[in-house]
Each structure stands twice: as C-alpha cells, then as structure tokens.
Amino acid sequence: MPKFSDLVNSFVKETEERMHAVFVSSVQKAVAVMQEPVGAGGNMPVDTGFLRNSIVAAHGTTPPAITLRKNPGDGVFAYDPQAINATILTATLNEGVSVIYSAEYAIFAEFGSRGRPGRRFVMHAAQQWPQIVSRQSRELEHRVRNG
C-alpha cells in the first residue's frame, strides 16, 4: 500500500503537469489567434508575410530586447511556428512567455496610423485569454477523463 506522502507527491506532480499543459496550449492558441490572417477571418494583416514572420517569443514576462527590422520589400515571407512553439513548450509556469513582433511597423498595424485604423491582432488575442484558458482546461480535463 502506497504511503500517504507518495500519493500526495503523485497528485502534485500530475497537477503541475496538467497546469503546464493548459498553459502551453493556451499560449499556443493565443499566438494562433494573433497570427490568423485577415483573409482567414483573423485580424493579422498579411501582404508579404513580413509582419507575421517577425514574431518573437522569449521566456519571462519582460519582452525580449529586439532590434526592429525594416521590411526588405521584396519577396514573400512564410511563417513557421516551430521556433515560437519550442520557446512556449520550454517555458515554466513561473516565468511565463512574452511574444512581440520585430517588424518596425508592427505597432502601426496594431494601433493604426495616418488615418488607417489599427487591426488589433494582439489585443484581439489578449481579450480572448480567459476564454482560451478555460477552453484549453476543459479540453485537457476531457482527455484525462476519457483516456
């Protein structure tokens, strides 16, 4: 028969793993909402894909120091979520994750400029955070209960 302390330790470990799973999937979903192009029903303006491809993630709640980048103006830029997802997966609950855009015009795309309204792609995702976490939590609970 297992000792009480072993049962408690096992419960705590499972709880921490589940909390981390909800955290990771919630941040990934929020990033997906931020990155959803206007043409697919989201708020991210996509012309060449430079803005969308300029997303950077780092551990911690303080945004990483970055150098703002100018759009080189030629070519099409494909977004590959692997680097962002790797950063999210390795973050701990205590440190969190910061996600920002390095395109120099990202702030203007978000908030608007020169008479153009902002697309609010980041704000749109941030406003959905409580619902995202709740949905991800319910999905994990369903998977745990149903094997």
Per-residue pLDDT of the chain (147 residues; tens, 9 = 90+): 778 877 777 777 788 899 999 999 999 999 999 999 999 999 999 999 999 999 999 999 888 888 999 998 888 999 999 999 999 999 999 999 999 999 999 999 999 999 999 999 999 999 999 999 999 999 999 988 887
CB 81 within 8 A of CB 55: no
Q: From CA 52, how far away is CA 101, in angstroms rounded?
A: 8
123 Cβ contact list (under 8 Å, min separation 6)? 110
92 Cβ contact list (under 8 Å, min separation 6)? 20, 59
Per the listing, tokens 């708020």 go with 43
